[in-house]
Chains A and B, each alone.
Chain A
Amino acid sequence: MSRPRLLNREEASSATLDRELLVRIHDVMVKARVLEERLIQMYKQGHGYFWIGGPGEEAFNVPLGLLMKKGQGLDSDYLHAHYRQSATLLALGEEPIGALRQMKNTATDPYSGGRNFAGHFSRREWNIAPVSSPIEVQYAIAPGTAMAQKRHGGDGITIVTGGDAGTAEGDFASCLVWSSRPANPLPILIIVTNNKWGISTTADGQHGETRISDRGRAFNIRSKTINGNDPVEAWRELKEAMDYVRTERKPFLMEAMVSRLYGHSSASGANFVANEVDCLKEFEAKLEKDGVLTREQMEALRNRYTEELAAAARQVRDEPQPAPESIWNHIYAEGK
């Protein structure tokens, strides 16, 4: 029987990753942060109606994307994400300009053709299920792809992510129930990124449970709470959890403690929050201290991405909006 493992920060941070991987993680973290900051700027300049995203979750979301088995179909991993997952998409190799197009709701928006908010990714050829705004519905949907993968065999898994506040919805309980049935346990990694907020509601307005991961215990789901602000710990814990789900074909519940660096969304101003841990800042201090990268190298990287994203934003500005008659497109799929 699986036993929940408690957070052991000392153990987790004692080992590190090889230099090449650290540099790669850092690179995507910077790119993702710059992307989110560009999206916020676009919103503030009137180049989009609404912003929501994941600045503050890069230390967790980048390792997640790098560890995913990318591709289409049952042999690859499915991702049922929420709307703070841009860093995972970039880690999978997605071009950031797509997110800008979605922010500007252009016809070229690769995820929704100008129909949906920023951060609402969809990419079938990589098994990225469409992100939708209702909180937690993805937890009710994810067991379906996991069930198909279980039957198919192989080592493809289903990953579902959502926030801590949304775990109050029944769909989170549905996910625990459907994933852990003794008749058919599912290869699913259930992730909760805990930023301790639900828009303006604090954790003590909702969470009676000590840890959200404790809820897995009642279902005999192996569970763990980790520090999602540390990319090294996130990488190691995600790797271990994913290996377990891949090989045992059983569920795993992971709660990652993360930060919310620009508030819930543009509805609350999208301004930088100074009193939260900034995972990128901390990681860069560590990389500098350990001699992995110099401050100059890291600043050069950030400047390069800032320039690239600024150029991309200018390009997107001139792209056409969807045509009014396109509202009738894609109501139904038609035979090929």
Chain B
Amino acid sequence: MANMAQAIRMALHYAEEHLGVMDIFGEDVGPPLGGVFTATQGLKRTWNSPLDERGIIGTAIGLAMAGQRPVAEIQFADYIYNTIDLLKIAGNTHWASNGDWNLPMVVKTPVGSGIRGSIYHSHSFDATATHIPGWKIVMPSNPLDAYGLMLSACQELNPVMYLEPKALLRVKGEERIPGEPEDERQLSKMIDAPLGDRSAWRPQWPALEPYAVPIGKGKVVREGDQVTVVSYGRTLPLCVKAADTLREQGVSAEVIDLRTLWPYDWDLVKASIEKTGRVLYVNEDTEVTNFGEHLMRRTVEELFYKLLAPPRLLAGKFVPGIGLADALELASVPQLADITQALQKLAAEEP
């Protein structure tokens, strides 16, 4: 099965062939490298930008104004912070012009921990991104969703922030992408650039098919009736593992992959909490003014009398960075054991 980086690459190939995407650009996005995570290798419409994040976001806005459907990359979300006011402009252009202009553009950027990236290659961006109205914000947790969300993003009329959990970019999927060859070695031979000189290399794209994960739709990935856990990105597969482990111990946990952070699938979350009466929100951004806090507020305000236990948030520690050493990273962001323990405790809680 394809990994997430390959899935994104295939989605972008589909988008440049069929969805009118004219520019896929950013630092080292074009040949010969094709992105530091290889997510843009072999594509036709890629090019290398100057090392200038404000220029990247600004140019994406301009290209979107001119109808080019750009996909811009910020190499690591850690370096997107100096573009915040441009992100605000992208988010407010339609509103500020009273509906005159709209910006069909995608900004993709790898986020979060998991590769021992130290202080400046481990930042999350979901808490900050969800503070910027006018954007749609998605974050896949598996290759098939990565493919489907990118195809949806490339057909949007509005700016889409596509957050890539970098810890999962090399993780293979469990479901086949429509058109993906059965043998993963064959896929690799077809679309992965060779090491060394690749100036003569051209990818052989499989006959990819359209597949949409609609923006705004979450997914129940494990059904359960005792406790709900809502997550996205890197921590989602950990929640699934925790739920599977607890199931063996007789705890029934429902796992929801939010997939879109804004506009998020409240109907799905609400229905699950109404069933279980208990909810744990998990993400790895720092926990103060965290997006999960918003979900908790809404849970309390709308579902208070249906709750069997206080809603809980398990998120990153509110410290200035993620330290390089194993022990520092593991202590800073939620790990499998933390999630299992938190779920176990919450499931046992009675009013």
Contacts and interface: CB of A to CB of B under 8 A. Distances in A.
Contact of A134 (B55, B65, B85, B93): B85
B22 A151 contact: yes
A132 B89 contact: yes
Residue from A73, A122, A140, A177 having most chain B Cβ neighbours under 10 A: A140
Nearest to A327: B95
A120 B97 CA distance: 9
A142 interface: yes
Contacts of A147: 23, 59, 62-63, 66, 68
Contacts of A245: none
B66 A331 contact: no
A181 B50 contact: yes
B237 interface: no
Interface string B69-103: 01000000000000001100100111111111110
A333 interface: yes
A111 B55 contact: no
B101 A122 contact: yes
B157 interface: yes
Given A113-B98, A144-B60, A78 B66 contact: yes
B54 A122 contact: no
Contacts of A130: 93, 96-97, 100-101
Residue from A141, A143, A171 having most chain B Cβ neighbours under 10 A: A141
A109 interface: yes
Given A140-B55, A146-B62, A170-B54, A333 B102 contact: yes
Contacts of B66: 74, 78, 144-145, 147-149
B57 interface: yes
Contact of A178 (B22, B55, B70): B55
A334 interface: yes
- B interface, size bucket: 35 or more
A335 interface: yes
Interface in B160-198: none
B58 A330 contact: no
Interface string A97-124: 0000000000001011101100010111
A335 B86 CA distance: 24
A148 B57 CA distance: 15
A332 B134 contact: yes
Contact of B59 (A149, A151, A178, A331): A178
A73 B65 CA distance: 9
B63 A331 contact: no
A287 B89 CA distance: 43
B97 to A, nearest CB: 4
A247 interface: no
Contacts of A142: 58, 62
B97 A111 contact: yes
B112 to A, nearest CB: 26
Residue from A109, A137, A329, A333 having most chain B Cβ neighbours under 10 A: A333
Nearest to A123: B100
A271 interface: no
Interface in B235-271: none
Contacts of B38: none
A123 B99 CA distance: 11
Interface string A43-75: 000000000000000000000000000000110
Contact of A124 (B86, B95, B100): B100
A73 B85 CA distance: 26
A37 B124 CA distance: 49
A112 B97 contact: yes
Contact of A141 (B59, B94, B99, B158): B59
B153 interface: no
Nearest to A74: B66
A206 interface: no
Nearest to A132: B89
A333 B50 contact: no
B61 interface: yes
A87 interface: no
A137 B65 contact: no
Contact of A171 (B54, B101, B136): B54
Contacts of A232: none
Contacts of B94: 330-333
A141 B101 contact: no
B203 interface: no
Contacts of B98: 109, 111-113, 115, 122, 329-330
25 contacts: A74-B66, A80-B62, A111-B97, A111-B98, A112-B98, A120-B96, A122-B96, A130-B96, A139-B58, A140-B54, A140-B57, A140-B61, A141-B65, A143-B59, A144-B58, A144-B65, A146-B62, A147-B68, A158-B62, A170-B54, A178-B50, A330-B94, A332-B94, A333-B157, A335-B157
Given A141-B58, A333-B99, 8 more contacts: A143-B55, A143-B62, A144-B61, A148-B63, A148-B67, A174-B54, A331-B94, A332-B94
- Nearest first, the 5 closest Cβ-Cβ pairs linking A and B are A144-B62, A140-B58, A113-B98, A148-B66, A333-B102
Interface of B: 22-23, 50, 52, 54-55, 57-68, 70, 85-86, 89, 92-102, 133-134, 136, 157-158
